[in-house]
Each structure stands twice: as C-alpha cells, then as structure tokens.
C-alpha cells in the first residue's frame, strides 16, 4: 500500500531530528542496516507500517542554523554519522531545510531562549496566535507535499518544569484561558501539542517537557478523535534501570541506593546544564525505581555537561544492594552510547506505530507504547519486559 | 499447618550448603531479615510454604571437614557470615554434622577426587551399590527425624562433562546397564538423582553437573510419580544476561560480542580451575544468548580462581553492540556478589517450591522453576522476566 | 630509645581519629600487620621513629558521643574494624575517652554547629579565649601523662571556605586583631593551629580546612621554632590522579576532560553534603591536574552522601583523552576504599615523621611530606612519585 | 639541520607500521596535532631531533597485501584513521609500498606462517642467507633514497617463545653456529637484528619477540659501535601498571591479586590467539609487578581475540589490595585505547631518540629508553616515573 506520511519535527534541527532524517535517507538509499529499529523486528512484520520511501519531513525550530550544518557537526564533533553516508544525503538535507519554519518561543526558560534566533526572541506573539501559526505551518506543509497524514513529534530541548496541576481538566475550560490576561502560562511543548491534536494529528512527546500530559490536552485529543503519547524517550540509563530493577525485585534483593552519573556534551547536555531544565529531566529519570521496587531506595542522579564527549552519553551507575543474611553487594555498570543514535530509531518507531494506531482508529493515549518512554503517560507499568509485552499484544491484535 | 521437612544436601559441607543451613538457623532465631528469598515475596504468600522451623538438615559429602569449620571459614576468609550470627548457630551446626554421611565418589574427575576423604578414594563400590547406600542413608535420616517428606538437592562441586547422549532413553533399559561390566559410566550427581527419584523424593540439581537431565532418569521420576528440576543455579552473571539480553533484543540492538570474565576464590573456583570441570560450567553459561537473541554473537567466558577473593565472585562483562546507522557502542558491568549468599536463598526457595509442587501432586520436570536455573531443563525460555511470569502463573494457579 | 609521644587529635571522636587509636592499639597488641603504613617501609627503617608503645592519645571534639560508641559504629555500619580486634581494645578506648576535651566551635559553619554538643553551641567564648583554653588542655594532658613531646593533628570535619587573603602576613599583626571587635573571623582549625604552634608543638592539618595555611600562622611557627604541614590528606581519588596524570603528561596524551564522582556515607560525607563545606573539598581536589598537565582540561568533581555506603568511599573517574592523530580514547577507574582505613595510617605516618623532623630541629613547613596531601603547602610538586622521592631524600639525609 | 633518515620497518604492512607511516604523512601535511608524541614534549625541544620531512620509509613484510589496503582497513574496521586524513595520504602510501620487500619466515611459528605469502612459505633459505638478503634490501633502500642513516624497527607480530639461554654469549661463537647443521634455531626477529646491527644500524625491538636480547647479539652491536633497545612497547595496560603499582608500593598497600583481562580484534590479537605466541606476550606483561612491589601477588593476565573490537584494545584490571587493619579494598580500571594509535607515536619517538643517540656516538643498549618498553633490556627499573626521569636526564645531558 502506497501512502505519503508527513513527519513534523519540533526541534527539527536538533541532534535527534537530524539523525532521524539522515537515518531515513540512509535507509531509503540502502546505506545502512536496520539496527536499533524496534519496528523492524519480526514481531511487527505483519503490521504494514509506513516504509522508508513514504517519509516526508518538515518541522519547527527556534535556531537559525541549517540541517546540513547540524549533520556535519554530528560527524565532526562526535563521529556519529559516517562521512560516506553523510555525503550522500546532503542534497536532500538542504531540500528538507526549506520545510523548517520558525518555532514557538513561549515559556521555555532562559537557556533555550538564549539559543534562539534573535528575531524570535523579540516576538510578542500570544499563545493562541502561536498555536494558530503552528497549525498553519503544518497545513501548508501537508498541502504542498500532498500528504495523507502528518504525525507531530517533539524532539526539542527540555523545558523547565511548569506545574500544570492548577490547570482546568477540560479542553473547553483551558481554551478560554489561553489568551486571557496571562492567567495561565503554557510552555511551547504544550502549545505544539494543542496545535497538532486540535488539527486531528497524532502527537508524540519524546522529551520530558510537559507536552500533551495535562488532562485538558488529553481531552482535546479525544474530542478530535486522535491519539498521542509521551513522555521522555527511554534511550539509555533509564532503559537499563527498567530492565535491571525488576530482576532485583524478583530476587528480593534489597536495593539500598542507586546512584547514576551521566555525562555528555551535546546541545541537550548544554540545556540540561541549566538547573531549571535539569530538574525536569532528573524527575523523569528518578520515578521508576520506586514504582518497580515498591519501596524507595536512596537515589542520586546527576547529569553533567562535559563538552569533549559530544553526543556520546556515558553513564555510570552504582547499585548497592543487600543480599541474604543482610550482606551488602554491588553492581556497577557503564553505558557508552551515542545519544542521537539511540533516540532516532525510537522516534522513527513511534512515528510508524502512532500512524498505524491512528489508521486503526485509536483515540487518546497510546499506552501500548510505554516501553519507549521514561515516564509513560496513563499507565503505571515500568518493567521493560512487561511494557514490551504490551506492544506485542497490541501488534498481535492487529491482523 | 505443622510439618517437618527433611532437606538432604549433596555437598553438605560446601559453601552453599553451609550457608543454607546457617541461613535457616538465623531465620529461625530472627537474626536476619529475608533479603534474597524469592519465596518470601508477597506474590507467594498464599502458598503455605514450609516454614523455617520445619527444616531438618542432613546430607552427603566426600570431604572430612566439619560444618562448624566450614562456617567459620566463610566468616574469616570472605567476611560472608557475621560473627554474631555465626556464634549463635554453632551448637546446631555441630548437631547437623552428625547427619552428614560419606558421599559417592564415582566418575567425578580427578580434581574432586583430590578433595575427598582418602577412605572414599579407595572404595571399590559399584554404581548400584552406591545408589542403594545413598537411599539407605536418606531413609535412616527420615526415620530418625520423623520426617513427613525429604527433598534432595545437589549443591556439590561441578563434575567434568560426561556425555549421556548414547544412554538409553528409558529407565528400564538404563537400569540393566547400571552394573553391567562398565558399559556405562554414570557420574555421582546422576547416581544421587536416581537414588532420590527411585525413592519417590523430589530432586533439585543446583549445579551444572549431569544430575537428572538424562531422559532415562526423567522416565524414572515419572514412574515413581515424583518431581525434579535443574540445572545450574542462576545466581550472578548469567542472571544479569537473562535480564539484559532481552532488552538488547527488543531494541533491535545487534550484539557483536559479549565477553564475561569471572574471578573468585572459593572451593567452587578451585574445582573449576580444572579445565575439565570448567568446560561444564562455561557451556552452561554460554547457551542463553543465542536463544534469547536468535543469532550467535561472539562470546567469551572465562572463570579464574583468584584466591584472595574468597567467596566474593566478581564478574566483568563487556557488551559490544551496534546501534542505529551501524555505530558500535559499549555497555560494561561489574558484579561483586558473594557466591554462597546469592546461591543459598535460591536453594531454600527451590526446596520450598518443590515441596509445594510435590504436595500438589506434580510429576516430572518443574519447568515453572526455570527462572532459578542457567540451563532450565525441559523449557526453552531464557528471558528472566518471562521465566518469572511462569513462576507467578504457577503460584496463581494454586489456591 | 624510649620516649612517650602525646598525640592530640582535633576531632578525636571522628572516624579517622577512632581508627588511628584502634589501629595503634591493635599494632601494640600484635593483632594486625602493617599494611597502609608508609613509615614502616624499609626505606625508613633507620629513622628510629616513635614505636607503637610510645603513643599516648588525647584530643578535642565538639560532639558528646563516646569513643567506644564510635568504634562500634565503624564495625556495625561499615564492617571497617573486625569484631575480634575491637573487643580487645574497648577498655583502652574508654580510658582514652577521658583525655578528650570539648572542642572549639567558632566559625565552623552551620552543619558542623548542628552536630555539636548543645552546651558548646551556646558558649560566648572569644577567639583568644578559645586558643588559651585549647593550649591549657594540651598542657594538662602532657603533664598528666608525663610526655616528652606532643604532636597536634587536625582530623575534624571540613569547615566552609574562609578567605584569609586579607589577613596580615605576620603573626604580630594578626595577634592584635584576634580579639579586636570581630574584625577578623578565624575558623576553629586555625585557632587550634595557633594554640599548638604558639606552644612550640608540631601541627599537622589532615583536612581541607584553613588550619596553619595563612602566612601569619606560618610566621608564628618559625618564631616558636616548630614545624607544621598540610593540607588535606591524599587518600583515594586524588592520590590516583597524582599517580596517573603524570603518565598522561609524559606520554603527551591530551586530557580533554576528567570527571570524578565520589559517593560515601560517613560523617565526613554528611558534612560535605552542605554545599558550603563541599566547596572547600572540591577546590582542594581540583587543583592538581592543571599543575601536573600544564593546561586546564574540563574537570568535574562531585561528592555525594549515600548513606548505605558508610565509610566505603567509592569513586568513579572518567578520563577522556586524545591520542595520536587526534583520536579520543577513554580510561575509567573505580576505587572502593574504606575512608577511615586509608586515612588513619597516613595520620600515624605524619605524626611519626613530624615528630622525627621536630627532633631533628626542623622549623616551618615540612614540604618533604607533600606526598601525603592533596594540596601540599609551600611546594608546587603534585606528581606523586616525585613527592615520594622528596620523602626518601629527606630520610636518606638523616643518619 | 637537514638530513634524510631512513626508517626500515619489520612488519611494514601491519597496523602499527601503517599508522606510523600515515602519522608521519599527516604530520608533514599539517593534518594533525602532536598528541601522543613524547619526543615533542618541551623537555626534548633542544635535542634537534629528526623532523617529519626527513622520514623515508621502507621495510620487510611477509604478507602480500598493500599498504593502501591496510590503511583503509584501519579506517573501516576500527574507525582509527579519519577519512579526510587518509584520502590525502593514499598517493604516498602507494609509493612507499614499492619500498617494502619480502620478509624472513624462519622460526616464527605456525600462526605467522599461515599469514605469509605462499611463495615465502616454500622458501628453503638458510639463516645466514636470510640475514644477507635483509642487509642487501636495506642497503639498496639507503642508496636509492640517498639516506644518511637508517634505523631498523621491529613492529611485526609476536613470535612464539624461543629459549636463547643455551646460546653462546659472544657474537663470534654465535656466528659460527648460524649455518651449521641446524644446531641453533634463530627466530626471524633476531635475524633482522643481526642484519641491522652487523650493518652498523640502530635496531629497536618494539615487540615481545626475542630480537636483539641475546648476549651474543648485544656483543655484535658493541663490536659494530651501534646501539639497540627493546623490548615490547609499553602502550596500555602495562603502562598503567608501571604508573599505579609504585603508588601501592609507596603506600604500603599490599596487593593480594592483580587480574588483567585484555580483549581486542586486530591482526596482533589474531596472532596472540595462538597459545604459543600468547605465552611470549603474557610473560612480558607479568614481570613488572614483582619487580616493583618486591613480592609476588597472584596475577592473571588474559588476552582474547574479539573480532568486533578491531584495533580498540579494551583492558579490565581488578586490583585486590589490603589496607590498614588488613581490610581488603578494590581498584578497578578499564582502558579503551586504540592499539595502533598508542603504539605508532612511541615508535616514532624511539626512532628519533635512537637516531639522536647514534648521532651522539652511543653504543650498546639505550637503557634511557626504558619508559617505552614492557621489558626494558639491561635495566631493572619498572617504575614509569623513574624511567621517564632517565629519559629526561639523558636529554638534559645533551646540549
């Protein structure tokens, strides 16, 4: 079945988005194998997922740089993308650049503002105007490219925590507050989510930012009969936690403390160097132990920006646990993974699964995608294997 | 419900057996909490498992030493057992010593022979005589202690590989060969298995030795309407593999090589320093990756005897995998666990679960115990979480 | 040659002091070998250093607890001291307790104040009064115990940074400011230093606190013809840095970043959990790379209080360096050492060497002791081997 | 001062040699900085060492492949050499290829024979004929390239151990045995050494093979008034040992065991996979601990060929030591270095220093080069810092 799927990337010039785009180009051209792509596992072969040739990219970004420049930086700074792959993708990257529109710069915190195109920084756009502009951008993209469907994915930098607990729970109530006299401050990630869902498009939040998490935005998704999921892609250290912690739980080994120290040097790391933004991330990483174990060991998570590492995220975890007769033992691991290369295939998987679910008529949170997220919305399951079983069961249910 | 359960330990003076006995004594006396005991998880609370007061210990051993001496060595050499726990268990240990009978020393390889009581080394016992003697020992133990049930567990040192492929598949055929003119050489672990199963007793093989694995011995179990399971307790590095490898598989991350280097200094380590015996172990550790991944990465497992480490088994694993766009990444872990303390609670769990299954009338291989073994008999599942789900499902099925 | 050496410990009930005392008692009684004692190396055998039997302990502490209680805690919380050693030292520990006097609680920061005996917290003692009281305590101790010599050692918790740059450079000037109307705030570590040096006694600062570092206090030492040295005992991660960094320098391997993450759970860790106090420590740990390498790589040092670790300090260091043709490579290490047991023998060594130097008539900073300190006073050498050569050369110069 | 220096590489198409050549080309062209080059440290700036433009390469190799092919493999298999560097060196590499002559294939063991050009395998060359042929090759090279000097360096694969203890101690005696009826079997590395030294050329043995170690070959060097040094370049794990072990020694920390596990996947690894060849290497790596510590801890060194790692040598070391009061502690490190890139700059350094020493008229073993070797000939010093001081002292002695 032929179809053309638009992928609208929020943070379209960032490391993850760039790697997603280069990755799809490389897959189209047969320059790479399929490592890292969950959706290419045999278990999902019958799903008739969107093929590499069907992807059409556009997006929003707040920075001025070019996709080509970003892709080259991934090669030179971090040795992430092979020169021979890169050189064969430059022409298409330049074309896709033309599909990237200026992003929304509301309530994103000072560090992200500091990265933005100065023109955006001085804009006085209201929240509602930003939503409408974003929607218009996506609609033009769909029309110009003759797309049957568009999926919107947030892969932008992490925003500072913004407490949405006091927000109203229905879309109708929230809507009336949107452009009231600043009664409510909505972060850009949520404005994009509103723009996408209001237009009936699936929305995926791959970041720890607020996105579509508030109840009122979920209500909007249901009203528009579309689907969404988030948040915070589970790419490295937390993935390992969700695979290892159940083992300790099932063996009744008492975890006394679990310390995780993360170092890396990409743009994401720079933004997380701001304590405001870091807090959002750490909170997302720290939840699952308590939920898997049923008790709360001492935990400490640090994330430090070490420039020389570029995109190579290195984590050291120290797990101090008590075995039989109360004896303390230790497990340590180090993880040396390339952040963008771990994230990008998951983003592609999420796009393909979300498109499939939407095609199937699914509405609301796609909880069967829990295995992809550090803090899956709408579901308590944090055990990785059981999360994966949910995905399998969903796939098994589709003929 | 009051009952008295005999536990007959093969290798009763070894590190694991000694820790099992001291552990049960400490639990009886309230000297320790319940870390490491799977059977104490909430999921199994309704099973009415055997309580700490119901355990009565006896066993076979080929060495001359005393249990008290072994227990003290665990304290002084490896700081495994606390002095304040140990000092309160010495009297009972000495009593239990009286229940330990000379073991079987047939087809165990030179290294194990070298450890044995010289009296045993010169014995000319036939295989059938050894079986009958072992049975008689267990019967006397049951009678003297007024036991309702006995479970036999092999926690002796690893024997060299002995190929059982040419053996007949039924018990009736095997039996006729037992004392023929040496046509078939049966290792001690299997002679004990035959002794136990023929007497209708559950048999658990916690070691990589042959034990009850041959089809003909399984046939005997079914004929005598009893149950058994093995083999090779999954305590450390392999446990981690069975929790981590599925994560790599589900994320489609291609494992290029997985290297595991194990160092430790207890008696088990000394025996495994003999290449013949080590081969049995390495074979058992190396299987599961292929089965979980569906392909065969390069693997290397080494096990080295480093005296200073005593019972502290340290493993370093280096996992070299390929992510998106073919980029190589690395995960490493180190595991610093105390071998006896990791094994002992699992032995206690297996005894309790096997007794429960036998009480329930289950016959043959207890495949729901797969999560406890490196090479579970009669079942292909090596994914730890899915193995644990089998245990849970079994427990859920018992009212 | 028989002599009796008084050792006056500041922080006499802390983990390091307690281990020093138990250690000397165990050495006296022949309960332990001599691992960790630099002064017992063959190279120093001719120095006629003070023997184990000659040590007599006293000291100051701001806490109410007892030495016996502290020693037991080291055993139970961290398995640091063997029960069989401990039980044979309890009587002497109780006796030494009587020699411990209430400490000075001026300008030590809120966290340390929070640990103190409430009686001390409410004291209105002036700085000069505190000095005189401390001197009086030491004199009484010397008299009561008929001591030929006393060495004063600071092993108390780390104070917040206190900038001494604006202080006058001579003792005469500083003295006049001591009890002026609060013109100058002197931390307790320096008040003790003044008390000791003014009495002509050698003073060693094993902590990162200010101690005898200010020029005016050094001037006092020279006036009183006594010696001193500091600061911050080099026990673990920094020791490794001073052994490894020269290797990278000599091989012209460019260190791009060096990240050190330290976790531990003793009292020292608790005090360092206060960012004010931690700053003093991190500053001391972070200097030497620049001095050894001649350039400034990105560094990050974190110190986190993880209660379950007790006295077991675990450090993970990640060294990212560039080799030939600019290729990035990585060295990582983990260090699992027992903080008190690493520090205590060095304290004993410093006491012995300082006593010997004083006996020899040396005056001022004992720079030949550089190898013992993270931030050796009065000398730029940070290469561990070259520091050790200074010690050897000093010893070689004494007949 | 302008001069042209011939560098004759034994194993000229191997990974190390290829990296040496590409490295010098990259330095000539200004494509790379000078990381990894000891001889570029400020301490040696006054020595007037040979410059990058002065290097002219030739050599022997037993394999048929081309240098260009080997260089490309380093890029594609191991990501060792950047594509942009490589592409600018291809023309010169092809030219240098023409200077590489067929090597000697006598007494090198089966594994190396298996790698050789079949034509060489069938040769019936005598030992003396091989020496003369090698000399002739070098002389032609010198003449054709108008060279003032040639330095010969062995960077070929490790040969099996060959015991030279029964050889005569003088060159005159050895010479008479060379072509006798097979009374003495001399490995190729030593035949090359004889060829070089007999021609008055400096010879460096960067491998653990025998080379110029035998007394009789040293005698030849002295007779011909030339210099030589070896053996086994100290590039990674052993380098770390020689920097770390002195730290443990100076702190009187008793090393109970030191385990080193090395994995890598280059040609060197393949050859070392043969137990005969591996033994030579392990012996060389294992000596220095005893010499630095003054006692013999338990050690275990393993070297395993893991294909996926290519040139990336990864070592895990586990150091189990005893501190104060006998308490066991642990240091572990992992080293992820690129074998060829660590070795190549040292080879360049050795060439430059050996040429300088020869220019200075030095004769015999160049023991001041000890810091470059795992098993430095003619000197017992294994402490890395003290070895480096020897180099500095030598340089300081030259005006």
Query: DSSP labels for A169-194?
Result: SSHHHHHHHHTSSSSS---HHHHHHH
Residue C2 reports pLDDT greater than 60: no
Beta bridge partners of residue D330, listed in sequence order: C336, D320
Domain end point (choices D292, D319, D337): D337
Contacts of C329 in chain A (CB under 8 A): none
> Who contacts B190 (Cβ-Cβ below 8 Å, separation ≥6)?
B164, B209, B210, B211, B212, B213, B214, B217
Q: Do A323 and B332 touch (CB under 8 A)?
A: no
Residue D291 burial class via C-beta count within 10 angstroms: exposed 0-12, middle 13-18, buried 19 and up? middle
Choose among B190, B225, B214: nearest CA to B107: B190
C136 and C195 part of one domain? yes
Cβ distance B83 to C79 less than 8 Å, yes or no, reads: no
Verify whether the Cβ–Cβ distance C324 to D239 is below 8 Å: no
Across B211-235, average pLDDT: 96
Residue A311 shares a structural domain with residue A392: no
CA pair distance C191, D328, nearest whole angstrom:
37
Q: What is the CATH number of the domain that holds A298?
A: 3.30.360.10
How does pLDDT run across A246-296, given as a tens digit for each residue?
999 999 999 999 999 999 987 777 777 777 777 766 776 667 899 999 999
Report the chain C residue with the minimal C-alpha distance to residue A254.
Answer: C308
Hey, is the C-beta of B79 within 8 angstroms of any chain C C-beta?
Answer: yes
Check D388 against C323: CB less than 8 A apart. no
B84 reaches C (C-beta below 8 A): yes
Domains in chain D: how many in total? 2
CB distance A190 to A211 below 8 Å: yes
| CA dist., res. D40 & res. C176, Å (int) | 54
Q: Which residues pair with D58 in a beta bridge?
A: D8
Give me the count of residues in chain D.
Answer: 399
Q: Which pLDDT band holds residue B33 (cuts at 50, 70, 90)?
A: very high
Q: What token pair was written down for C169?
A: 């450079």
Q: Taking CB atoms and an 8 Å limit, are D308 and B256 in contact across chains?
A: yes
In this structure, the answer to whether residues A277 and A142 fall within a common structural domain is no
How many angstroms separate the most distant Cα atoms in chain A? 69
Q: Which domain holds residue B35?
A: 5-233+341-396
Q: Which of D32, D33, D236, D324 is the best substitution to test chain C (most C C-beta atoms within 10 A)? A: D324
> If you search the block for the tokens 């047991």, which residue do you land on?
C341
Cβ pair A100, A158 in contact under 8 A: no
Please give the Cα distance from D399 to D389 (Å, whole number).
Answer: 17
The nearest alpha carbon in chain D to C234 belongs to: D251
Q: Does any CB of chain B come closer than 8 Å to the CB of residue C308? A: no
D41 contacts C250 by C-beta, under 8 angstroms: yes
Residue C221, SS3 per DSSP: helix
Residues 323-362 of B with CB under 8 A from D: 328, 330, 332, 334, 336
Mean pLDDT of B182-202: 93
Q: Are residues B219 and B348 in the same domain?
A: yes
In chain D, residues with a C-beta closer than 8 Å to the C-beta of B256 are 308
Q: Do C298 and C177 belong together in one domain?
A: no
Contacts of C251 in chain D (CB under 8 A): 36, 38, 239
Same domain, C154 and C58: yes
Cα–Cα distance measured from residue A63 to residue A57, given in angstroms and rounded to the nearest whole number:
17
CB spacing of D244 vs C246 below 8 angstroms = no
Is B304 in Cβ contact with D298 (below 8 Å)?
Answer: no
Question: With an 8 Å Cβ cutoff, are D334 and B332 in contact?
Answer: yes
Identify the domain boundary among B290, B314, B337. Answer: B337
Q: Does the beta carbon of D129 lie under 8 angstroms from any beta carbon of chain B?
A: no
What residue in D sits closest to A79 (Cα-Cα)?
Answer: D79
**A223 and A252 share a domain?**
no
Residues D133 and D276 in one domain: no
Q: Are D305 and D53 in contact (CB under 8 A)?
A: no
Residues of C in contact with B337 (CB under 8 A): none
Say how far apart CA B262 and CA B333 lie, in whole Å: 12
Tell if the CB–CB gap between B250 and A384 is shorter than 8 Å.
Answer: yes
pLDDT digits (tens, 9 = 90+) for B35-75: 999 999 999 999 999 999 999 999 999 998 899 999 998 88
Residues A178 and A299: beta-carbon distance below 8 Å: no
Among B298, B307, B318, the residue with its CB nearest the CB of D298 is B307
Task: State whether D318 and B318 contact (CB < 8 Å).
Answer: no
pLDDT for B266 equals 79
Order of all β-strands in the sheet with C364-365: C100-102, C55-61, C5-10, C149-154, C203-205, C227-229, C364-365
With an 8 Å Cβ cutoff, is A35 touching chain D? no
- Name the residue among B306, B316, B336 with its Cβ closest to that of D316: B316
Mean pLDDT, chain C, as a whole number? Answer: 92
Chains meeting D at 3+ CB pairs closer than 8 A?
A, B, C
Q: Do B326 and A80 touch (CB under 8 A)?
A: no
Q: Measuring CA to CA, how many Å separate D286 from each of A203, A340, B309, C183, D252?
A: 60, 41, 20, 62, 20
List the one residue out of A238, A230, A236 whose CA is nearest residue A208.
A230
Q: What is the CATH number of the domain that holds D60?
A: 3.40.50.720
- pLDDT band at residue B281, thresholds of 50, 70 and 90? low
Partner-chain residue, chosen from C33, C334, C385, that has the shortest CB–CB distance to D383: C385
DSSP category for residue C314: E
Blockwise average pLDDT, block size 10, chain A, 399 residues: 84 95 96 95 96 96 92 83 89 94 91 86 87 96 94 94 88 87 86 97 96 96 97 92 96 96 83 72 74 93 91 94 95 95 97 97 97 95 96 95
CA–CA dist B11, B100 (Å, integer): 9
Crossing angle of the two packed helices D127-144 and D188-198, in degrees rounded to 10: 50
- Chain D residues in contact with B323 by the CB 8 A cut-off are none
Q: Do A84 and D83 touch (CB under 8 A)?
A: yes
Q: Could you give the CA distance from residue A282 to residue A274 in angstroms, rounded to a whole number?
A: 12
Supply the mean pLDDT for chain B.
Answer: 92
DSSP bridge pairs for A9: A59, A153
Q: Give the nearest chain D residue to B304 (CA atoms).
A: D300
Is the Cβ of B76 closer than 8 Å to some Cβ of chain D? no
**Co-location of B183 and B306 in the same domain:** no
- Are D137 and D21 in a shared domain? yes
Partners of A259 on chain C (C-beta within 8 Å) are: 261, 263, 304, 306
CA distance C82 to chain A (A): 15
E strand residue ranges, B187-236: 203-205, 227-229
For residues A349 and A332, state if they share a domain. Answer: no
* Gap between the Cα atoms of C384 and D163, Å rounded: 39
- Kindly list the residues from chain B whose CB atom is less than 8 angstroms away from the CB atom of residue C84: 83
> Is residue A6 within 8 Å of residue A147, measured between CB atoms?
yes
User: Which pLDDT belongs to residue C285?
Assistant: 64
Q: How many CB atoms lie within 10 A of CB D232?
A: 24
Return per-residue pLDDT of chain D as tens, 399 residues. Answer: 447 899 999 999 999 999 999 999 999 999 999 999 999 999 999 999 999 999 999 999 999 889 999 999 888 877 778 888 999 999 999 999 999 999 999 888 888 888 888 888 887 889 999 999 999 999 999 999 999 899 999 999 989 888 888 899 999 999 988 876 667 889 999 999 999 999 999 999 999 999 999 999 999 999 999 999 999 999 988 999 999 999 999 999 999 999 999 999 877 777 777 777 777 667 766 678 999 999 999 999 888 999 999 989 999 999 999 999 999 999 999 999 999 999 999 999 999 999 999 999 999 999 999 999 999 999 999 999 999 999 999 999 998
Residues 6+ apart with CB under 8 A from C82: C75, D325, D326
Q: Which of B82, B133, B76 is nearest to B104 (CA)?
A: B133
Report whether A40 contacts A336 (CB < 8 A).
no
How many whole angstroms separate alpha carbon C125 and alpha carbon C127? 7
Which of residues D337, D368, D385 is at a domain's end? D337
**Chain A residues within 8 A of B36 when measuring between CB atoms:** 251-253, 323-325
Interface test with C, best of D315, D316, D325 (most C CBs within 10 A): D325
Q: Is B245 on the interface with A (CB under 8 A)?
A: no
**Among partner residues B79, B84, B334, which is closest to C79 by beta-carbon distance?**
B79
**pLDDT-derived band at C286, boundaries 50, 70, 90:** low
Residue A261 C-alpha, separation from nearest chain C C-alpha, in angstroms:
7
Q: Which helix (H) or strand (E) holds C268?
A: helix C267-272
Residues A152 and A202 in one domain: yes
Q: Is B175 on the interface with A (CB under 8 A)?
A: no
């Amino acid at each position: 079945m032929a179809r053309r799927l638009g992928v609208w990337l929020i943070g379209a010039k960032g490391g993850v988005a760039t790697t997603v785009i280069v990755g799809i180009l490389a897959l189209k051209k047969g320059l790479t194998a399929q490592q890292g792509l969950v959706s290419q596992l045999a278990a999902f072969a019958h799903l008739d997922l969107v093929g590499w040739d069907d992807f059409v990219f556009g997006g929003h970004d707040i920075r001025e740089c070019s996709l080509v420049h970003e892709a080259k930086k991934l090669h030179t700074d971090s040795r992430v993308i092979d020169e021979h792959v890169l050189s064969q993708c430059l022409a298409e990257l330049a074309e896709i650049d033309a599909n990237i529109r200026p992003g929304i710069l509301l309530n994103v915190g000072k560090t992200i503002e500091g990265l933005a195109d100065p023109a955006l920084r001085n804009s006085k756009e209201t929240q509602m105007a930003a939503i409408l502009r974003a929607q218009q951008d996506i609609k033009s993209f769909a029309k110009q490219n003759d797309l049957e469907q568009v999926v919107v994915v947030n892969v932008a930098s992490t925003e500072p925590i913004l407490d949405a607990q006091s927000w109203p729970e229905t879309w109708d109530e929230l809507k009336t507050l949107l452009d009231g006299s600043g009664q409510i401050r909505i972060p850009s990630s949520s404005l994009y989510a509103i723009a996408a869902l209001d237009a009936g498009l699936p929305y995926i939040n791959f970041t720890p930012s607020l996105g579509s998490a508030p109840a009122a935005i979920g209500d909007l998704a249901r009203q528009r009969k579309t689907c969404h999921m988030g948040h915070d892609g589970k790419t490295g250290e937390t993935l390992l936690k969700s695979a290892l912690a159940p083992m300790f739980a099932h063996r009744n080994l008492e975890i006394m403390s679990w310390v995780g120290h993360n170092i890396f040097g990409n743009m994401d790391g720079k933004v997380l160097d701001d304590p405001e933004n870091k807090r959002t991330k750490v909170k997302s990483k720290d939840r699952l132990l308590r939920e898997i174990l049923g008790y709360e060991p001492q935990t400490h998570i640090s994330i430090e920006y070490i420039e020389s590492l570029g995109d190579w995220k290195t984590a050291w975890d120290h797990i101090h646990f008590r075995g039989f007769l109360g004896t303390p033992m230790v497990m340590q691991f180090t993880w040396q993974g390339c952040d963008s290369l771990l994230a990008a295939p998951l983003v592609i998987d999420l796009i393909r699964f979300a498109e499939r679910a939407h095609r199937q008529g699914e509405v609301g949170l796609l909880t069967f995608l829990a295995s992809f997220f550090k803090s899956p919305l709408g579901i308590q399951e944090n055990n990785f294997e059981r999360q994966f079983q949910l995905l399998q069961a969903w796939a098994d249910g589709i003929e």
